[in-house]
Amino acid sequence: MILRPSVKSSPKLKRMLEIILALGNYMNSSKRGSVYGFKLQSLDLLLDTKSTDRKMTLLHYIALIVKEKYPELANFFNELHFVDKAAAVSLENVLLDVKELGKGMELIRRECSLHDHAVLKNFLQSSDQQLDKLQKDAKTAEEAFNAVVMYFGESPKTTPPSVFFPVFVRFIKAYKVQLYYQASHIMAWKISG
């Protein structure tokens, strides 16, 4: 799966998540001790957490901190290739389709063993290798997905691809909006200034 290296091995994403964790630990320091991680679903809360004057979200603040202190991370999302495409594909449906194809091929094999169908035999000969490759690719994709989900401390059983990847898509989209918002405010300040 193309996605696993992108999400799992992105040093900039890792650093962004570390900054978010450190900020969360700072904000919650009086309530409880430091935590060593957070659920990915918590990224959705960055837009909901607002300053006391309600003018700034936590994501807005994170974007400001990154721009000022860690400018090399500002475009972290450029390392996350194909996340939006992965969010649009249902791995569950792909795996189910491959399984159904395997069952269909087995029915054709049985039919060929009962009756001598030249057309079906030719079809089997030309399709067996393709199905085998498809099944191996599907297994590789499933294993890669399970590995990346576990890397982020989630369970593949409770966090399907339809939940996992959209978290990143929403986070990236909201972060880009904050970057645009900041850039437009700076431009307005320079023009009026």
The Cβ of residue 73 has, within 10 Å, a number of other Cβ atoms equal to 19
Q: How far apart are CA 63 and CA 78, in angstroms?
A: 15
Domain boundaries, the chain: 3-84+165-192, 88-151
Q: Which amino acid is at 135?
A: Q
pLDDT at 49: 86
pLDDT at 2: 44
**The CATH number, out of the four listed (1.20.58.2220, 3.30.200.210, 3.30.365.10, 1.20.140.10), of the domain defined by the range 3-84+165-192:** 1.20.58.2220
pLDDT of the chain along its 193 residues, tens only?
444 447 888 999 999 999 999 998 888 876 666 778 898 999 999 988 887 888 888 999 999 999 999 999 999 999 998 898 889 889 999 999 999 999 999 998 888 888 877 888 888 888 999 999 999 999 999 999 999 999 999 999 999 999 999 999 999 999 999 988 887 776 666 777 5
pLDDT at 133: 96
Task: Tell whether the torsion through CA atoms of 104, 106, 112 and 114 is positive or negative.
Answer: negative
Q: What share of the chain is helix, strand, coil (3-state, %, to 5)?
A: 75, 0, 25
